[in-house]
Amino acid sequence: MKTEPLFEKVPDSPDANRTALVHDWLTGMRGGEKCLKVLCELLPRADLFTLLHLEGTVDPVIESHGPRSSFLQAFPGVGRYYRYLLPLFPLAAEGFDLHAYPLIVSISHCAAKGVIPGPTSRHICYCLTPMRYVWDQYPFYFGKGGRTSAPRVLTRLVAHYLRVWDVAASNRVDEFVAISRFVADRIRKYYRREAQVIYPPVEWSQYEVAPSPEKDFYLVVSANAPYKRLDIVLEAFRDLDRHVKIVGHAPAGEAAKSRRGRLGNVEWLGWRSDAEVRELYANCRALLFPGTEDFGLVPVEVQAAGRPIIAYGRGGVLESVRGISVKEAGGTDKGSWERGCTGIFFQEPTAKALTEAIACFESVEDRFDPPGIREWAQRFDRPVFEKQWKRLLRSR
């Protein structure tokens, strides 16, 4: 889809129209990078800054902006361990000299919003989430059973420092834009700031309803992060006579278990191309979404292919999916089925609740309308995102 540049007719000089785009790091194409790609097309002359850039890992549109990296780029082999450099991220973000840019747009879930703007700069932050590592997701990363093995006192000190810095950095932002009402609520809670909402874009036209979907497997598309709660899916499918395909890399040891047959109904696919994922979307029985997401593009994408969702009923999914609870679905007869329903919500983040939701879904599966599900997803189409951003950037 061709995007009309926002400032296409503006001359190169004087510098009054220079724009800086700032992104946390560029190491792959996930939801935040998909948003960045559209903004790069809306602002084709913008200079792009990022803490770290692994060349070739993002879309050519982003690469064409020649990302400028921080001092972290000089660390040998940094792409393998950059997440462990979290305490250095504030220093890296503050190291960019952006004083000459009248407009700064940061796309941030970590440190990008902490750049230091010039005294007359307008800084808009498209906030994917307040720094999840030290706020709402702290227990998953640093709490008991979290990812880090560092001493508890050390992690608490680092987290305290990052919280103080994160709040201070939020004061450098003139306008917050959140990816969901769920994130806007957290911005209000942690930063004491208001934020308008612009939902992330989906290339709706690239998806289609399969005329005869296979529907012989459930699907998960997820990175292996603690808050994604893949553990719920693995535990549930140990006792389910159902097949689930997981797009993403298996946690240590799980792939080997699957090969030995201990988890023979769980198929780890690794990362797949966009075309392959679209094919999986169109043919799955339903998407499983067990974690609490800030918004979640995956549920919107699978709905654009006309397939329903079984999700934990918390977070951004309550805005992207027109769902009904297990209790409501079980007590609703076919004649009064809620019009336009696109998913089933379970209310506890447990394997038992997911198992019950799958059973509930299968009892009402024939009531879902694929074309209707696809129509619902169109409200998140890319032109809607572009229109809202054009209006915002042209305002003063």
Where do the DSSP E strands lie in the chain? 19-23, 47-50, 68-69, 103-108, 122-127, 175-178, 195-197, 218-221, 244-247, 266-270, 287-289, 309-312, 323-325, 343-346
Q: Is 219 exposed, middle or buried (0-12, 13-18, 19+ CB in 10 A)?
A: buried
Is CATH 3.30.70 what the domain over 15-201+381-394 is classified as, yes or no? no
Contacts (Cβ under 8 Å, ≥6 apart) of 84: none
What is the Cα–Cα distance from 327 to 204, expressed in whole angstroms?
A: 31
Q: Which amino acid is at 345?
A: F
Return all residues near 120 (Cβ < 8 A) that are at least 6 apart: 102
HSE-CB at 143 with a 13 A cutoff on CA atoms is 10
pLDDT per residue rounded down to tens, the chain (396 residues): 666 666 543 333 334 469 999 999 999 998 899 999 999 999 999 999 999 999 999 999 999 999 999 999 999 999 999 988 999 999 999 999 999 999 999 999 999 999 999 999 999 999 999 987 776 765 665 665 544 555 567 778 888 889 999 999 999 999 999 999 999 999 999 999 999 999 999 999 999 999 988 889 999 999 887 788 999 999 999 989 999 999 988 876 555 455 443 457 999 999 899 999 999 999 999 999 999 999 989 999 999 999 999 999 999 999 999 999 998 876 555 544 566 899 999 999 999 999 999 999 999 999 999 999 999 999 999 999 999 999 999 986
pLDDT tens, 89-101? Answer: 999 999 999 999 9
What is the DSSP code string of 118-170?
-TT-EEEEEES-S-TTTTTTHHHHHSTT-S--S-HHHHHHHHHHHHHHHHHHH
Length of the chain: 396
pLDDT in tens, 106-135: 999 999 999 999 999 999 999 999 987 776
For the chain, residues classed under CATH 3.40.50.2000 are: 204-379
Highest CATH level, class, for 204-379: alpha beta
Element (H, E) at 298: helix 297-304
Q: pLDDT tens across 245-255, in order?
A: 999 888 765 55
- How is residue 267 written in tokens? 């198929």
pLDDT at residue 369 in the model: 94
> Maximum CA pair distance of the chain?
66
